[in-house]
Amino acid sequence: MEDNQTPSEQPKATPVMDVQPPRPQAPVSEPTSAPIVPDSSAPSEVSSEQVVEAPAEEAPATENDNVTDSADAPAPATAEPAAATPLVATPAAHQAHKAPVMAIVTALIVAIALAVVAVYAYMAQQNKDDKSTTTTTQQTTSKATVQDVDGTTKAIDQSLNQVNDSTDFDTNSLSDSSLSL
């Protein structure tokens, strides 16, 4: 790339290549072997700059028409994907339409699963409560003792002493005399 450049083009390129242009000229004016050593390092610098500058040239490609052929090359390359976009757009749009449907179906499945789990958990909890109630009732039934029998007999006596059939159901209450008949 540097070999193709003429001395007249050098001032234009100075802002970009501020160090490299004087080095190729050195072998031409002084054919000594001493500058050869930096010359070996020069191509490496150039190559490194090309690698770095390559992406930068793609972006301003449309702005600078004075750039070399290599800079013009990426322009058609970017145009090709733009032309191909409409061809791919139909399945993409189809996918875009499918996405909400899939989301709704997924949400429904999750909702049904949650409902089933909630009902199952509720029923299981209720069964557990019933079992615990039964267990508690069974635990309260203790074994009878003599005191229990005595207590029951005493309570029965007290209950029966509360009622008096003679006064509660007095046959005189419906007699002719009591009704003034």
Partner 1 sequence: MKSRIKIALSTGLLMPLFVVAPVLAVDGTDTTQTTTNTTTTEQTTDDKKTDAQKQAELIARLEKRKAELKTKLTAVEQKRLQTKCKGGQGSVKSLQAKINGTETSRNQVYTNLLDRLNNLQSKLDAKGANTAELKTEITTLQTKIAAFKTDLATYKQTVSDLAIMDCVADPTGFKATLEDARTQLKTVRDDGVAIKTYVNDTIKPTLTKIRATLDTTKTEESTKPTTTTGNN
CB of 74 to partner 1, least distance (A): 32
Instruction: Name the residue nearer to partner 1 (CB basis): 41 or 152.
Output: 152
124 binds partner 1 (CB under 8 A): no
* Residues between 161 and 180 that touch partner 1 (CB under 8 A): 162-163, 165-166, 168-169, 171, 173-174, 178-180
Q: Hey, which residues between 129 and 148 contact partner 1 (CB under 8 A)?
A: 141-146, 148
Of 1, 110, 129, 134, which one interacts with partner 1 (CB under 8 A)?
A: 110
Q: In terms of C-beta density within 10 A (0-12 exposed, 13-18 middle, 19 or more buried), how is residue 49 classed? A: middle
Stretch that binds partner 1, among 18-26, 72-80, 81-89, 110-118 (CB under 8 A): 110-118
Applying CB under 8 A, the span of 38-46, 49-57, 73-81, 114-122 interacting with partner 1 comes to 114-122
Kindly list the residues in this chain that would bind partner 1 in the complex (CB under 8 A).
100, 103-104, 107, 110-112, 114-116, 118-119, 122-123, 141-146, 148-150, 152-153, 155-156, 159-160, 162-163, 165-166, 168-169, 171, 173-174, 178-181
